[in-house]
Structure 1
Amino acid sequence: MRLHKLRSKIALVFVLLMLAVQAAVFIAADRVIASVARAHVDEQLDVGERVFRRVLQSDTARLTQAAGIVAADFGFREAVATGDEATVMSALRNQGDRIRADVAMLVNLEGKLIADSRTPSGVGSPFAFPALLEHPARKDAATLIGSIGGKAYALVVVPVKAPTTIAWVAIGFSIDDAFAAQMHDVTSLDVSFMTRVSGNRWTIAASSLPGEERGALQRASGGAMFADRHDTSLQLNDGFGSRAVWLAPYGEPVVAVLQKSIAEAIARFRQLQVALLLLTLAGVAVSIAGATLTARSVTRPLAELTRFARRIGRGEYDASISISQKDEISELAAAFSQMRNDIAEREARITNLAYVDTLTALPNRLAFCERLEEAIDRSGREAGSLAVMVMDIDRFKYVNDALGHHAGDMLLREVGKRLRQALPHASDLVARLGGDEFAMLLPHSGPDAAQRVANACLKALEAPIQIEEHFVDVGASLGIACFPQHGADMPTLLRRADAAMYVAKRANTGVAMYDASRERGGAERLSLMSELRHAIDHGELRLYYQPKVDLATNAMAHVEALVRWVHPARGMVPPGEFIPFAEQTGFIRSISRWVAGEAIAQCARWHALGLELNVSINLSARDLGADLPDALDALLRRHGLDARWLWVEITESALMDDPAHAIDTLERLHRLGIRLSIDDFGTGYSSLAYLKRMPVSELKIDRSFVMGMTGDADDELIVRSTIALAHNMGLQVAAEGIEDEATLARLRALHCDIAQGYYLSRPLPADKVEGWLREWNEVVAACSQTQSG
């Protein structure tokens, strides 16, 4: 029986309680029996003492009668009177033999022995008990039990009268083991006669006790044990109740010890003790059986409940439990059943929340990843293929901004519905990963089939989606990764499909298959990003300055600061390889602050040399924080540069991400005196309503229109229209990306204000700008002389 089991513990408690009760009863009964036995022994001692005294009185009466006969005999009196010792001795012996006396003595009036049946040599010696001769009842007889020569005797002294007392006759018998045995037979007690031999040491003169117990009594009877004649109940040898009876009333040291064995008294109760013991054992056995049955009746339903709970823990919610007994355990079973139903219901809700997107009712990222892992495992075993597609809705933020998030939610639900309808097989899965990003799993499709499904999905989204009173055109970018060509596990396939989606978004192709070469370039750029902070801290960044030429005067009074990274191992790293990632991670703010500080400091140095140059810096959308104006103002004050010499170029797309916030920041910069330019104009879909509210001084036409304007009428139209629009709004126009003379001449003809490009000058280090400016001025002067000549 294992004690850690509840059943064992219950049974053990029951048995221990029963054992405790039975042991208490048994101990109490044993003590009562011992007490009753002790009382019975005391009662027997009382009765035995009375019988002992009666028998002793009877024996002394018989001696008294015999002594009286001897003392009354005429011949004996005459022999005593005449001093005939032979006749006296003969008479004493005859009389003693007749009554079986052990001693017969004749004592004269002076207390000396005239005759002694024990030994003739004692004649003339003093009588051992002179007090008997002085007893008040000496006219009749006196009795005594005393010690003579270490032996106890019962003596009777009778006066011999003729007619007055002429002598004393003393007759007695010896108190020995036979006498003690006789007394034992009469009183049913063990009788021991003890005498004091020297000082307070006592010895046993006669006893009915056997040898071992006799020795125990001898060892126990030491010292002044019998000094108090009134203390008759004694504690002597163990196992006996004892009573002391003083036999010598005149101070003679003789005591009779009456004893009764307590063990014998208890023996009559032994059967009761055995019966109690048997009852105790029977009670323990019954309690064990009862405790076992009770524990089983309690623990068996609990074991059933335990098995039920374990099945629930394993998710087996169809498990049932039935408890027949009607008690608290049945109520607990009912509670367990209700708990099972509640847990099953809650788990169903939790599972739905964990695996289903609540907005679109499509599987969520977790469910999609699990299904994808299962499909990869199955395709790996069957040597099959599958495709994963990740799709992102283009310009979804504009829907939320223009129509609200409620409209955005409706759009996502409709997109999910159309994607589900566009999938060709029931086993295909569409899921919402989060935000405006969806994923599709094609378990039995290769690259070609996946490409067809991707085109079908894009086609399903071509029809405008009605959201309340509005119709919204939805565009999307979709990336594809296939197993096993592009990855052998779920994270790799998802990551690579996502990378392909961003390729499609940047290239505006709608669909893109994963290309490993692009990922290697991305990994290299990511590695560069990890080293970018080190580059700023250790002076690896450089500023180059590209001149801008006023087309009306051919003067160069303006430069644009462009950042370059001189990597210790890779050499010159162009900004296109690290600026986009810096913008995504937010690290662009650190770069922009460094560029602003370096450009303002360099401009101040040029002014100190007499070169009055304007310098422009580029800022991204992440730089347009509330602290930007204060930071630039602090830099200008530190270097003593007037704010009008600083230009800030901000891309059109950055302004359109959050126009209200951008306008507020631009107005604060304008109040400082800093001049503003919209960079890459024509690519950001800016609204003229916003444009007219912005305190800008310049529009900078994107290079994509400038570089193709001489060969593309549409590009030239855009450039011409932009120049006209800017001039009508009171703004100057700058064109970048000028690669040849024809483009420069065409811009002059269109009255463009500022020109910038490799045809004029590549970006220069700061120490080369002054030299270039001198050469440019010389060329301009030479051209002017030629034209005038």
Structure 2
Amino acid sequence: MSELDGRLHTAARAIPFVLPEKYVTQALQAQFIKQEDYLKHSKALNQSAKQMGVEHLYVLSLRGADVIFIANSALLAGMNIERDGDYLPSHSERFTLVRSAIAAGQPIFGNIHDQYGRYRSIAMPVLGGDGVVYVLGADIAVDKLLARQSEARIRAFLIGLLMFGFGVLISWLLASQMTAPLRRFSSAVHRFAAGEFDVRMPMHRHDELGNLASAFNAMGDAISAREHLMRQLAFSDRLTGLPNRVKFAELLSAYLIKTPSWLAVVMIDLADFRYINDAFGFDAGDRVLCTMSDRLSQMQPEHLKIVSRISGNSFVLLLSADNETQTHAQIQMIEAALSESLFLGEQKVNVAIRSGIAIYPLHADTAEGLLRHAEVAMFFAKRDRESSVIYDPSREEDRLNQFTLLGDLREALSENHLVVYYQPKINVSTGLVGAAEALVRWQHPSRGWISPGLFIPFAEKTGKLRGITEWVLCEVLRQQVEWQRNHVNLLISVNVGVSDVEDIQFVDFVEEQLNKAGSAANLCLEITETGVMHKPDAMLQNLARLRRLGVQLSIDDFGTGYSSFAYLAKMPVNELKIDQVFVMSMNSTFESVSIVRSMIEIGHILGLKVVAEGVETIGIWQALAVMGCDEVQGYLIAKPMAANELLDWLSEGPHQPVELTPPSMSNF
């Protein structure tokens, strides 16, 4: 990469530090960019372009077949306002370069010649947070650059010629005094031309040569200041002032060379940080990040060598230690400091910490290797909700498999690789089956059956669970229409999350599907209690609407989550479902028996039907019957089965496992 291309590359990389991410995100999503916003941010780019010594800085994006400017340091020069306010260029030669860069997925340099002159340009594609690709661009005017170089050569030639003539006139007595400064000046110019911008002319003269040296030094100061600013933008975090990932890797590499001992790279994630942004706004989120940065910087324990912010809510540290035990002690001290409460206005906020640890030389011997392995460890800490995890090479394949699941999951939805199984619920008193729970299964074309315990949590974290839920809902209602033809009418329960019933769009979707199914629809939504309620008022309104639509509602996994009796009393639900953790432990602990009995009594006090899941032994069946539990499900009754198998099973008649006799409480 030439020095010219290097300057273009550095300038393009600095654009995100000048242009607010919020504006770029909004501009990419909007159909129309407000003129005042466009001008404001274009002027900011124009000022940065001058500071960086380039002609233009701009950001472009594809919108259909068109390429549009999101911001342009050239302001409105050569621009037309067309198509309802979209800012489009009056020339399009450089768009070939832009499209090539997007297609290649990497920066591309090119030479552009238009009515304004010749330019050396770069188009650098960037993937936005919402998956939209946009392009960062920078231009250097070749004609102006050549003109300045030509002028500099002419000026240098004239100065040299003047010096030579002056030297001839003054004679050999002054020659030695003139040639030495010229040699120094020539050396400085060559070093400067080679990119050594900190070279200066230490000349204390009051003649023309002194003036030239002063001008040279002033030029060097200005260019050095610009280079320093560009490096600062490229290698430090604008919000906190901490080194960024690139600078951290550079500093870490230096440590690995001079300190070949036990080192730990610790990558820290502020868990659920998005909720702070959602609840208090991005300014509050920035204050939290700055507070965490200050806490880390002010601690500076003996073994904390580097503190860096590498992404939105992630920091990375370099610790020196003698062993793993000492490293854990240091991390616990850091986690304790970061976990201390802070206040956003009058609201007290606690931030949970997840950290991944990679050890040198145990896990890697390069900076990038240590960073990558620390990131892998942090991934598992976040997934398993552990405070800290040390990198384990054996889990690398597990992580890669999980990422491949994302693409496979999309295909599973589109290619109908998912299957709905049904586990019946039986009435404890009569042994009759009037309901069943729909459970999704995944038959992968190459891996076979994939456990729901693997792909459901993964789908939830990657935002794909809503799609699975909607698919199951449609499949259940389709099956009920088919069953209606065979005179089978079962209440089918479908699991949904708290975030689903808080969302009005999901409720609209349910209503639409119920209308399609017509009279065959007999639906119960089991709301997973382990979810956190972010919009309790909206949820209560949506639940009431679902009840009006004829949908029954159940609190699933009762006793394991966040429900309060105050909200439980307000919820228009029909049923409480006791989590199998409590039910299955009735054989081993008397406390579990007491807990289950209390849950049944609470449900009946509230006028709700009580269902117990995870019933696998006759003793538990009898105990639940004596306690007054209304319905049960579990392997003692039947395993989950396909729709056609369920019809065969139902034809066998009542399904009470044994006669109802009082259980011996000595078994519990």
Q: Where on the TM-score scale, by shorter chain, does this alignment land: which range?
A: 0.5 to 0.7
Deviations 1:721-766 (A, max 9, x none): 4444444444333332223223333333443333222222211011
Aligned to 1:479: 356
TM-aligned CA distance change 1:10 to 1:398, over 3 Å: closer
Aligned to 1:496: 373
- Match of 1:522, SS? helix
Does 1:371 find its partner at 2:251?
yes
CA contact (8 A) 2:357 2:389 kept: yes
Shift of 1:614: 1.1
Shift of 1:513: 1.9
CA contact (8 A) 2:308 2:315 kept: yes
Does 1:756 find its partner at 2:636?
no
User: 1-side partners of 2:467 and 2:538: how far apart?
Assistant: 21
CA contact (8 A) 1:499 1:514 kept: yes
User: 2-side partners of 1:718 and 1:368: how far apart?
Assistant: 52
CA contact (8 A) 2:421 2:642 kept: yes
Aligned to 1:175: none
Does 1:674 find its partner at 2:555?
no
Aligned to 1:632: 510
> TM-score, normalised on structure 1?
0.54
TM-aligned CA distance change 1:488 to 1:699, over 3 Å: farther
TM-aligned CA distance change 1:419 to 1:781, over 3 Å: closer
TM-aligned CA distance change 1:442 to 1:737, over 3 Å: same
User: 1-side partners of 2:312 and 2:284: how far apart?
Assistant: 14
Shift of 1:331: 8.4
CA contact (8 A) 1:419 1:457 kept: yes
Shift of 1:579: 2.2
TM-aligned CA distance change 1:343 to 1:309, over 3 Å: farther
**1:768-779 correspondence runs (5 A):** 768-775=645-652, 777-779=653-655
Deviations 1:544-579 (A, max 9, x none): 111122334432111111111222332211122222
TM-aligned CA distance change 1:396 to 1:742, over 3 Å: farther
TM-aligned CA distance change 1:778 to 1:702, over 3 Å: closer
User: 1-side partners of 2:619 and 2:597: how far apart?
Assistant: 15
- Match of 2:330, SS? helix
Aligned to 2:474: 597
CA contact (8 A) 1:655 1:662 kept: no
- Match of 2:364, SS? coil
CA contact (8 A) 2:374 2:391 kept: yes
Aligned to 2:459: 582
User: 1-side partners of 2:557 and 2:217: how far apart?
Assistant: 69
CA contact (8 A) 1:607 1:613 kept: no
Q: Which moved more, 1:595-604 or 1:476-485?
A: 476-485
User: 2-side partners of 1:436 and 1:309: how far apart?
Assistant: 45
User: 2-side partners of 1:598 and 1:331: how far apart?
Assistant: 85
2:406 is aligned, of 529, 550, 556, to 529
Aligned to 1:610: 487
Aligned to 2:616: 739
Shift of 1:344: 4.5
Aligned to 2:27: none
Matched AA of 1:372:
L
Matched AA of 2:448:
G
**1:450-465 correspondence runs (5 A):** 450-461=327-338, 464-465=341-342
CA contact (8 A) 1:388 1:497 kept: yes
Matched AA of 1:639:
A
Does 1:437 find its partner at 2:314?
yes
User: 2-side partners of 1:587 and 1:293: how far apart?
Assistant: 84
Matched AA of 2:400:
A
User: 1-side partners of 2:269 and 2:206: how far apart?
Assistant: 62
Aligned to 2:435: 558
Does 1:704 find its partner at 2:581?
yes
User: 2-side partners of 1:727 and 1:686: how far apart?
Assistant: 17
User: 2-side partners of 1:716 and 1:635: how far apart?
Assistant: 40
Shift of 1:615: 1.2
User: 2-side partners of 1:11 and 1:339: how far apart?
Assistant: 15
**1:126-141 correspondence runs (5 A):** none
Structure 2 runs not aligned, ≥5 long: 1-148, 170-177, 662-668
- Match of 2:533, SS? helix
* Aligned length in residues: 502
Shift of 1:617: 1.8
User: 2-side partners of 1:434 and 1:325: how far apart?
Assistant: 52
TM-aligned CA distance change 1:466 to 1:601, over 3 Å: closer
1:567 is aligned, of 421, 434, 444, to 444
> TM-score, normalised on structure 2?
0.63
TM-aligned CA distance change 1:307 to 1:772, over 3 Å: same
TM-aligned CA distance change 1:642 to 1:562, over 3 Å: same
Question: In angstroms, what is the RMSD of aligned CA positions?
Answer: 4.5
Matched AA of 2:518:
G
Shift of 1:610: 1.1
TM-aligned CA distance change 1:418 to 1:765, over 3 Å: same
User: 2-side partners of 1:683 and 1:348: how far apart?
Assistant: 55
Aligned to 2:267: 390
Aligned to 2:63: none
CA contact (8 A) 1:312 1:319 kept: no
Matched AA of 1:319:
R
TM-aligned CA distance change 1:332 to 1:525, over 3 Å: same
- Match of 2:585, SS? coil
Does 1:319 find its partner at 2:200?
yes
Matched AA of 2:472:
V
Shift of 1:349: 5.1
User: 2-side partners of 1:715 and 1:423: how far apart?
Assistant: 48
User: 2-side partners of 1:616 and 1:320: how far apart?
Assistant: 83
CA contact (8 A) 1:677 1:698 kept: yes
- Match of 2:638, SS? coil
CA contact (8 A) 1:656 1:684 kept: no
CA contact (8 A) 1:588 1:622 kept: no
State the identity %: 36
- Match of 1:428, SS? strand
User: 2-side partners of 1:688 and 1:350: how far apart?
Assistant: 58
Does 1:520 find its partner at 2:397?
yes
User: 2-side partners of 1:359 and 1:759: how far apart?
Assistant: 59
Matched AA of 1:570:
R
User: 2-side partners of 1:638 and 1:469: how far apart?
Assistant: 49
CA contact (8 A) 2:499 2:533 kept: no
User: 2-side partners of 1:684 and 1:363: how far apart?
Assistant: 40
Structure 1 runs not aligned, ≥5 long: 14-285
TM-aligned CA distance change 1:750 to 1:472, over 3 Å: farther
- Match of 1:363, SS? coil
CA contact (8 A) 1:387 1:445 kept: no
User: 1-side partners of 2:413 and 2:628: how far apart?
Assistant: 41
TM-aligned CA distance change 1:716 to 1:482, over 3 Å: farther
Matched AA of 1:744:
W
CA contact (8 A) 1:389 1:441 kept: yes
TM-aligned CA distance change 1:456 to 1:306, over 3 Å: same
Shift of 1:390: 2.1
Matched AA of 1:485:
L
